C-alpha cells in the first residue's frame, strides 16, 4: 500500500532564500518508495553548499543535493555560500508518514470480514473512512458507473445492479497524489425488503367473468410490472385460512412460494354463499438470510352478481 508524505514546515526561510522559488514548497506530497527523496532547486544556489540533517545527524546528500527520506522526523537543510557564510536560516521540514489506508463499512458500522444482512427499508449505504478523495466503487470486482465518485454508495441508487437475497461483494479505491489506493477490506452485503407489506382487496366476485374471480394479496410497489409483484419480497411458506363471519372454518390454502389465492369454494369444493369472510395469512420473509414469520388478518366481502 502506498503512502503519502506530508511536509509540515516548522521554520520558514527568510525572504532572501525564498525569493527565487516562492511556490516550491506549496502542496508537495512525496510517495513512499525505496528511494523517497526530498529535493531542493540547488541550481538556484550553484555557488553554495547544502547540508542535510536528520534531527542533529548529518546525512549524506545525493549527487543532485537531494536527501533520501527513510523515517519520520525533523529534516534540516542548511545552505552555506562560497564564503562559508550561512546565507539563510536553516530550513526545517518535519516529514510525517501519513497513511492513506481506508476501510469500507455499511451505514458507518464496522463490517470487516463478515456478511452483512440489511433491509432496504434501512437504506443500506456503503461508507468510506476516507471522505475527502474521489472514490471508485466496485461490485463483485467490476467497476460501477463513473459518476459514482462520492465517498458513500447508497444501494437504492444501484437497484438495477442487484437482486434481493443474493450476496454481493463491494469495495472501493481512491485516487490521491500517489495514484490509486485500494480499500483495506471488502464488504459482503445481502439486501432484502424485510417488511414485505402485502395489500389485501376487501371485495371479490368469483362469478366466472374476467375480473376479481379470486381473492389474493397484491403488492403495490411503484414502478413494477404486475408479473414482478410476487418476486420482490422473497417471501415463502404462504398459508391462508378462511372463516365465516361466525368463525366456522371454510378453506385452507397452502401455496408455498406463491401468493395464496381463494376461489370462493369451501374445503369440500362447493361454492360458498355471498357474505363477509374472515381471513388469516401467515408467511415467512428473508428465507435466505434471517427468516421471520409474519401474519396479516382481515375481512373480505364475497359477491357473486
pLDDT digits 0-9 by tens, 243-291: 999 999 999 999 888 889 999 999 999 999 999 999 999 988 766 556 7
Q: How many residues make up the chain in this entry? A: 305
Helix or strand (DSSP H, E) at 15: helix 15-18
The sign of the CA dihedral 50, 55, 60, 62 is negative
Burial track 163-178 (b if 16+ CB lie within 10 A, e otherwise): ebbeebebbbbbebeb
Nearest Cα neighbor of 124 from 181, 189, 37 is: 189
3-class DSSP state of 8 = strand
Judge whether 206 and 213 are in contact, CB under 8 Å: yes
Compute the distance between CA of residue 258 and CA of residue 142 in angstroms, rounded to an integer.
34
Question: What CA–CA distance (Å, rounded) separates 66 from 20?
Answer: 18
From residue 111, alpha-carbon distances to 168, 185, 201, 240 in Å are 14, 9, 42, 39
- Indicate whether this model's pTM tops 0.85: no
Query: Using the 8-state DSSP alphabet, how is residue 16 labeled?
Result: H
Predicted pLDDT of residue 152: 92
**DSSP class of residue 86?**
B
CA-closest candidate to residue 242, choices 284, 209, 214:
214
Phi, psi of 55 (to 5 degrees): 55, -110
* Other C-beta atoms lying within 10 Å of the C-beta of residue 248: 10
Decide if 271 contacts 205 (C-beta within 8 A). no
pLDDT at res. 241:
97
Question: Can you say whether the dihedral through the CA atoms of 43, 44, 47, 52 is positive or negative?
Answer: negative
pLDDT in tens, 41-64: 656 566 777 788 888 888 887 777
Distance in angstroms (rounded) separating the CA atoms of residues 61 and 67: 5
| pLDDT at res. 117 | 85
Residues of the chain above pLDDT 70, percent:
69
Q: Which domains does the chain have, with CATH numbers?
A: 4-98 (2.60.40), 104-192 (2.60.40.10), 203-302 (2.60.40)
- What is the mean predicted confidence (pLDDT) over 164-174? 89
Q: 98-137: per-residue pLDDT in tens?
A: 556 788 898 877 656 678 888 887 889 999 988 888 899 9
Amino acid at each position: 500500500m502506498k503512502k503519502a508524505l506530508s511536509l509540515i514546515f516548522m521554520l520558514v526561510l527568510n525572504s532572501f532564500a525564498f525569493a527565487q522559488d516562492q511556490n516550491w514548497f506549496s502542496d508537495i506530497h512525496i510517495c513512499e518508495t525505496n528511494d523517497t527523496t526530498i529535493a531542493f532547486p540547488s541550481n538556484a544556489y550553484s555557488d553554495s553548499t547544502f547540508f542535510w540533517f536528520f534531527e542533529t545527524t548529518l546525512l549524506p546528500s545525493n549527487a543532485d543535493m537531494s536527501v533520501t527520506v527513510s523515517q519520520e522526523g525533523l529534516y534540516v537543510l542548511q545552505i552555506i555560500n562560497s564564503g562559508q557564510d550561512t546565507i539563510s536560516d536553516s530550513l526545517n521540514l518535519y516529514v510525517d508518514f501519513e497513511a492513506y489506508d481506508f476501510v469500507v463499512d455499511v451505514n458507518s458500522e464496522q463490517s470487516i470480514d463478515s456478511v452483512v444482512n440489511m433491509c432496504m427499508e434501512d437504506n443500506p449505504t456503503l461508507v468510506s473512512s476516507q471522505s475527502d478523495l474521489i472514490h471508485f466503487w466496485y461490485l463483485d470486482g467490476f467497476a460501477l458507473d463513473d459518476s459514482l465518485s462520492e465517498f458513500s454508495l447508497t444501494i437504492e441508487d444501484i437497484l438495477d445492479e442487484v437482486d434481493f437475497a443474493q450476496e454481493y461483494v463491494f469495495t472501493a479505491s481512491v485516487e490521491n497524489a500517489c495514484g490509486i489506493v485500494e480499500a483495506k477490506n471488502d464488504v459482503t452485503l445481502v439486501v432484502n425488503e424485510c417488511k414485505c407489506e402485502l395489500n389485501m382487496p376487501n371485495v371479490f366476485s368469483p362469478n366466472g367473468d374476467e375480473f376479481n374471480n379470486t381473492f389474493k394479496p397484491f403488492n403495490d410497489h411503484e414502478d413494477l410490472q404486475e408479473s414482478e409483484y410476487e418476486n420482490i419480497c422473497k417471501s415463502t411458506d404462504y398459508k391462508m385460512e378462511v372463516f365465516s363471519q361466525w368463525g366456522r372454518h371454510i378453506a385452507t390454502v397452502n401455496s408455498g412460494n406463491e401468493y395464496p389465492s381463494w376461489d370462493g369454494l369451501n374445503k369440500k369444493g362447493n361454492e360458498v354463499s355471498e357474505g363477509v369472510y374472515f381471513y388469516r395469512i401467515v408467511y415467512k420473509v428473508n428465507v435466505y438470510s434471517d427468516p421471520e414469520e409474519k401474519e396479516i388478518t382481515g375481512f373480505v366481502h364475497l359477491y357473486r352478481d
